[in-house]
Amino acid sequence: MSDYSQWSKEALIEHIARLEASASTTATAAGPSKPHTNPESTFEENAKGTSPLNHTKKQKGKKTQNLRPFDFSKHSARPIALKVAYLGWNYHGLAAQETGSGIPTIESALFQALYTARLIPDASGKGCNWTRCGRTDRGVSSFGQVVSCLVRSNLPIGAEGTYNWPSQSEPELKRKRGNDDDEDNEGEENIHETSQDLMDVSLPDKAYTPVPEDFSEIQYVARLNHILPPDIRILAWSPIAPQFSSRFDCTFRRYRYFFPAEGLDLKRMQEAAKLYIGAKDYRHFCKVDPSKNVKTYVRTVLDASVEPLRMPDSNLPTTTNFLAASNELKEDSPEVKVSPESFLVFEVKGHAFLWHQVRCMTAILHLIGRGLEPVSLINDLTDLSKHPDNAGRPIYGMASEIPLVLVECGFNDGVLDWRVDAEPISQVQQQNLDALYQSSDAFSQLVVNLWGQWREHSIKAAQAEALLQQISVDSFGSARNINYRQVFDAYARDGVLGNASGESGGYGGKSSKSYIPIMKRKRCDSIEDRTVKYNASKQNKQAKKAATTKNGSE
């Protein structure tokens, strides 16, 4: 047992808060109370309904235990940025919905984890100056989302810029709203403004002093990952200035879209991707929402490319050596050939993107790669002189949301100082790496947890492939001497893996025997027509509401 008589008051408070947060995790967290650090625990969790793939269903209808009142005024506060990675397949996007909606989102899970860890005072995120860098839609994932908020600190006032926790009577630091016209909700016209220029109220003016030797900061990464669902991970945290905004201080966003290479001409796609670079009008590469006040559809793409999927060199198990290691168990087992070129990656970097812009860009690239459209189609779609006046975009389906990933949010040098709560690995742990996954080191836990998720998905993929191979060989007594490789190539080429016109990038849909070129297709309503219809509908609803209110008051 620890000798608490030697602990400082602040250290004791921090220790008690940590114990209370850990005790409440069982009732409030989506996953189990222990961190998902044991790769073998995945199989037990599946039986209990808490695996990364079905934890959202487990949450439904689950009562949340109210935590004891916590007096934040007795603690210092500090603004921090969090780098977040998540697999968005089971979530309805990043942004939190209305309180009580029950719709699972990334932000709602983050708010709940921050609240459970006693880092913010409200489970809805109110009062913590929350900002996000890039808003991702339903099903979209991220490897480097950046959010910022005000959290409880264990440091004394002034250390690393901490200050008194603002009282509930004080106004929350508000920033002017930018346009909501973008895929990531960041208007390009706002992207170069400084966050200091966007503040509506004055900021705390506290002296910046070093951290005293007898104080240590809360381990934000370890604490939050202990509570969060396994498919949402905090990668790092950074101290920030109070006026920092992850939205307005972001200088660029980088997306990647993963898709199968079957039936696609890589050289044509690479040539076409370069035509995206520059400032162009992308109104024919997005979904229009007339409720948003979009001032311009011109967006600047800084870079765009299509390349074979290649994993970075590391000492971690990859698909190739993981399967190879499995085969080493049997000397007579056939050689396993895993080609990293079986997948392609479309990568695009820009200041900001319109709603569904990246998915539309991917769909057009896919058509060009299949030889259904000329490379020049991209210039034709962005050149408004080649379209009738007041014309909407040609009708075509956009690519699926599942393969899309926000991989990076860029900031100027020196703005962020990422920390991972990593601890030096002891000599004992170096000698017994088998037990490293039980370490309290936050980074080790993060890597092992993500590896466990990858391993689970790899096993599921292997099972699905084994079933496919077994069915093709079995044939239930029928002679099936068919070259399925040729069948699958034709399947992809003819758009059966896409939607009705093969635009979805290889995910879901039906085939189409006759292909109609994009520039000859029917068109959606123009932006102007949609705006007129929206305003008329809005006025009609307001009139009905006013009439109902008037009748109710009589």
pLDDT 10s digits, 330-345: 444 444 333 435 789 9
Three-state DSSP class for residue 79? strand
Compute the Cα dihedral for 178, 181, 183, 189 and give only its sign: negative
Confidence of residue 318 (pLDDT cuts 50, 70, 90): low
- Residue 114 in domain: yes
CA–CA gap between residue 88 and residue 76 (Å, rounded): 33
In a domain, 321, yes or no: yes
Q: Is the pLDDT of residue 233 over 80?
A: yes
Does 528 reside within a domain? no
Question: In terms of domains, do 235 and 323 share one?
Answer: no
How many domains does the chain fold into? 2
Q: pLDDT of 353-384, one tens digit each?
A: 999 999 999 999 999 999 999 999 999 999 99
> Does any domain span residue 438?
no
Residues 265 and 194 grouped into a single domain: no
Question: What CATH number is associated with residue 110?
Answer: 3.30.70.580
The reply to whether 42 falls in a domain is: yes
Does residue 500 register a pLDDT over 80? Answer: no
Q: Does one domain contain both 165 and 102?
A: yes
With a cut of 60, say whether residue 439 has pLDDT above it. Answer: no
Decide if 224 is inside a domain: yes
**Strand ranges (DSSP E) for 232-314?**
232-239, 252-260, 278-281, 298-308
Cα separations in angstroms, 82 against 15, 79, 234, 410, 532: 23, 10, 7, 13, 41
Average pLDDT over residues 232-251: 92
pLDDT at residue number 465: 81
- Can you give the pTM of this predicted structure? 0.74
Answer yes or no: 525 catalytic: no
| 242 plus 259 within the same structural domain | no
CA of residue 199 relative to chain centroid, distance: 27
Given 137, 181, 182, 231, the catalytic residue: 137
Q: Are residues 235 and 285 in the same domain?
A: no
Asked if 343 and 260 count as a contact pair (C-beta separation under 8 A), the reply is yes
Same domain (yes/no): 231, 257: no
Given this model, what pLDDT does residue 171 score?
Answer: 45
Are 140 and 158 part of one and the same domain? yes
What letter does residue 518 receive in the DSSP assignment?
Answer: G
CATH of the domain at 271: 3.30.70.660
What tens digit of pLDDT does each residue of 287-300 get?
988 877 788 999 99
Residue 209 belongs to a domain? yes
- Does residue 541 sit within a domain? no
Instruction: Count CB atoms within 10 A of the CB of residue 326.
Output: 12
Residue range(s) defining the domain that contains residue 343: 252-409+486-523
State the amino acid at position 214 in one-letter form: D
Q: Are 315 and 273 found together in one domain?
A: yes
